Structure 1
């Protein structure tokens, strides 16, 4: 029995004593879902406005890819640094500062400016958004024990999908009616509104400051039975485990395809596959719709497996690896598929099935690490993984400039290869039940 399972002594009052924390936990989770929606609307606006921006500013594909890669210049560094800070500073205030900086970075583009301002804006936005996902996940998981984290973790990931699903038609309409600069004003306003809601309603759960008794680390991080407090687990030991390496490698592949989708998928659909703007928007909706279904389905399946006593290497590692390999098979087949329905199916599966690995990687590392090292472990993982966002936009832009529309074919094949690597790593390396006890020793 864990401390989260203890029934209050006064039997007449359990419903009243538990309803408040439970309601607060889900209120904070809902706000974090919206937080990630705004986060990915910010990321997607540049890809959605790719053609008008390139036409208005006279940018080549390489220059536009460079502007997108600028977003990741400080993204990874800040993700790791703020992830480490989140083990020492209340995540509530870190999340608030991020949201305010998002709005500050987007607002100037709504007024004017060219390529230099676009690059500067994306660098600042990337620095502010780099820590967003790991700190949001750390905050959400602080309200739940390990056996209950799959759903809130998946919902936070789902926020990334919902952000694009809502942004794609909404911001496209704004751009068509009022121009691409007005779309940047909309996302800036959204960040400000979220910050105003977070101030009174946001916060962290008790597992941030107390040992997580549901994990293998309970007790080992506080006292050894003699009253002596054990020293904190060094980060280097966490990063050297096969579970952390496998989760990070698999997450890298999933993030690569996310960066591809956000920056170049609209252009690939329009220029590479010949779809109209309206048809491209419909395909994008299918991609992110499937992503939402897979993320929630994985959360349900993994939670069910864990409750039945299935080891995490199967419930998390093998489930995530299978999804990545399915996505890889679709991507590797896509360039040679005949035009028509087959192309749409392969594209939707290839770009939509891998996203659940994000949630799996986070909950896996959360199970692996002590609570007082969770923010740093997640932040460092995110820093490594998001280098994919620094590399992918520029590399794909170079391929398009060099090979024309054929460059998209090479980009999809490269993506498939990376997903194969990630799928194999997830299936063979992830095993937090094996590695967590070693960190407690």
Structure 2
């Protein structure tokens, strides 16, 4: 008779360790996040074309993009908590199908109202994507081996833009922005078929439920949300996500209208911050994993590494107005947005560490819901700045991003200590 796996509070060990199926699921979910962010990037890549076609000023275009996040947060909370009880495979499949359906109305035609309605629907379907994908992936791996798979899921975000931006820009320039919507709808549909065939839930989910039934009650959501680590991680990630939203919606226009790149060149240069971000994510995963294997605390391996990443991003963004060189500004933007926007993996693995297994979906979901409010605000704020200040509005938007990233870095330095809060939550259960 095989011995049951050893269970400790907040940590589940499944029989057989990490197998090939875990990496197959991880690879599929990387592509899932690539499609997710290809969907998000279309309007930013086609900003000038959409504004001309629908006769929109920058403020109304910004508000149209903000509409994407109107139900994003609500959906992230509801589905995040539902993921603690319902098969993540099923939830992810439903999301992918809805993404493709959401593209169709605006792809067929219509004006601003149709565009806004379709983006609200798409946002509701995509809101839970990152926390559920992270939960589904991390559940296959023990805590000390989560840095790489967590980073890969986040790298899917950057790869989605890096790979899709040049191709979607070409489609937009030669066939129109509505054709680009058909392209991303088709990609979502193809991925959904592959996931239905090859996706799977982790066997560790069963161990989590058994542990919840066989051990003392786990810490409540209220105590998790009140912990300094959860608060600090959420604040730092909120400030970082502002930069991600800015890159998605306004960076292509910034490159074309403030730095005078052509549409084709901007479609290529726009991938630079995402490429830097991908490199940073892999660097974080390597460094975090190395530190933890050497016995470093999570405060150092996750809290400090994430805080220094944000510090570099803030410094680069705040330095942009100090030079008039287009090349220098491009490099500073790539470094500032690349480092400043590369916090998602640190955030997800930190919260997953302090939240007991049966609470991880809700803890990740609420964090993601709060964080993505910055996506609701950033496009509208930047649009208003551009209408009011012209080219200077783009520059000031970068300064605002730098200031917010700096605030996030301070929060990470001051508040994040997973070992401390995991112990406190265990005692409170």
Pick the TM interval, shorter chain.
over 0.9
Residues 1:440 and 2:421 are matched in the alignment: no
Show CA shifts across 1:170-189 (max 9, x none): 11111122111110000001
Change beyond 3 A, Cα 1:328–1:369: same
How far apart, CA to CA, are the structure 2 residues paired with 1:283 and 1:185?
A: 24
Show CA shifts across 1:280-300 (max 9, x none): 233212211111111111101
How far apart, CA to CA, are the structure 2 residues paired with 1:134 and 1:340?
A: 37
Residues 1:428 and 2:388 are matched in the alignment: no
How much has 1:99 moved relative to structure 2?
A: 0.5
Residues 1:125 and 2:111 are matched in the alignment: no
Q: What is the 5 A alignment of 1:349-360?
A: 349-360=335-346
1:237 to 223, 235, 246: 223
How much has 1:208 moved relative to structure 2?
A: 2.2
How far apart, CA to CA, are the structure 2 residues paired with 1:60 and 1:343?
A: 25
For 1:193, the equivalent position in structure 2 comes to 190
For 1:311, the equivalent position in structure 2 comes to 297
The answer (yes or no) to whether the contact 1:102–1:125 under 8 Å persists in 2 is yes
Change beyond 3 A, Cα 1:367–1:123: same
For 2:65, the equivalent position in structure 1 comes to 68
Show CA shifts across 1:276-317 (max 9, x none): 223323321221111111111110110000000000111111
| Runs of 4+ with deviation above 6 angstroms | none
Q: What is the 5 A alignment of 1:197-212?
A: 197-211=194-208
How far apart, CA to CA, are the structure 2 residues paired with 1:211 and 1:135?
A: 16
How much has 1:111 moved relative to structure 2?
A: 1.4
2:244 to 258, 264, 278: 258
Q: What is the 5 A alignment of 1:228-377?
A: 229-377=215-363
RMSD, aligned CA: 1.8
Aligned length: 417
2:389 to 396, 403, 411: 403
For 1:82, the equivalent position in structure 2 comes to 79
How far apart, CA to CA, are the structure 1 residues paired with 2:402 and 2:205?
A: 38
Q: Secondary structure at the match of 1:309?
A: coil
Provide structure 1 residue ranges, at least 5 long, that are not aligned to the other structure.
Answer: 6-16, 213-217, 224-228
How far apart, CA to CA, are the structure 2 residues paired with 1:392 and 1:347?
A: 17
Q: Secondary structure at the match of 2:69?
A: coil
How far apart, CA to CA, are the structure 2 residues paired with 1:123 and 1:4?
A: 45
How far apart, CA to CA, are the structure 2 residues paired with 1:278 and 1:315?
A: 40
Provide structure 2 residue ranges, at least 5 long, that are not aligned to the other structure.
Answer: 8-14
Residues 1:58 and 2:55 are matched in the alignment: yes
